[in-house]
């Protein structure tokens, strides 16, 4: 999204000047507060979507502010991962790895189970599979071994997606990307589980 990229550049400029211009903290809070208000709205999908994008950019740039607001931000993002609006749901799913990247231990302890519940549901839905597979792969890169309890379920869903029957409904290249990313994040475990992928070659 062009607007999100523009905000990203603005936040970077503010961050660079932050050491000499204390007012940058005030601007961060103003931007966050507006995003928070937008996510409280119902059925105003454009505003909600934009607010999610803003939170994503804040997570990538403003460490201290988002540390202070981390729990609220995680609840807001994960709360939209089951939205009936596809764009909002998929945007929330895309932001899950950003949540983990910002505070890996806190995410793994407090939010990983909830996030994986939503991701596994998304992996079973044809329209949500691509974004969900990428999110799972990126999440594995961020938190590594904390993903071990979910490997069996993810491998099973990946095999089902890549099977010949599923390919007739449309090939999902994101499933292959997910495997590559998870292998990078959990190489030894994927090596030990390599026999589980044998159905793909039958």
Digits of tens for pLDDT over the chain (202 positions)? Answer: 555 566 656 666 556 655 555 556 777 888 889 999 999 988 899 999 999 998 988 888 766 667 788 999 999 999 999 999 999 999 999 999 999 999 999 999 999 999 999 999 999 998 999 999 999 999 999 999 999 999 989 988 988 888 855 555 567 889 989 988 998 888 767 666 666 665 554 4
The dihedral of CA 74, 75, 81, 84: what is its sign?
A: negative
Euclidean distance between CA atoms 172 and 201, whole angstroms: 16
Euclidean distance between CA atoms 168 and 88, whole angstroms: 28
Euclidean distance between CA atoms 111 and 125, whole angstroms: 22
Cα separation values, 122 from 15, 35, 90, 118, 187, Å:
35, 25, 9, 6, 24
Euclidean distance between CA atoms 26 and 24, whole angstroms: 5
- What pTM did the predictor assign? 0.84
Give residue 172's pLDDT.
Answer: 83
User: Residue 36: how many CB atoms within 10 A of its CB?
Assistant: 16
């Amino acid at each position: 999204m062009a607007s999100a990229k523009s905000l990203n550049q603005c936040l970077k400029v503010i961050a660079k000047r932050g050491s000499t211009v204390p007012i940058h903290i005030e601007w961060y809070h103003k931007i966050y507060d507006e995003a928070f208000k937008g996510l409280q709205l119902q059925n105003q999908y454009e505003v909600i979507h934009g607010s999610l994008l803003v939170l994503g950019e804040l997570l990538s740039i403003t460490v201290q502010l988002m540390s202070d607001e981390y729990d609220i931000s995680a609840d807001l993002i994960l709360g939209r991962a089951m939205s009936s609006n596809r764009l909002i749901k998929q945007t929330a799913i895309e932001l899950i790895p950003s949540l983990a990247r910002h505070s890996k231990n806190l995410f793994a302890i407090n939010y990983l189970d909830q996030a994986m519940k939503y991701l596994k549901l998304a992996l079973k839905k044809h329209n949500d599979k691509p974004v969900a597979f990428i999110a799972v792969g990126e999440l594995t890169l961020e938190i590594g071994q904390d993903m071990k309890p979910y490997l069996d379920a993810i491998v099973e869903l990946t095999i089902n997606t890549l099977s010949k029957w599923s390919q007739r409904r449309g090939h999902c290249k994101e499933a292959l990307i997910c495997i590559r990313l998870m292998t990078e994040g959990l190489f030894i475990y994927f090596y030990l589980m390599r026999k589980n992928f044998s159905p793909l070659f039958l």
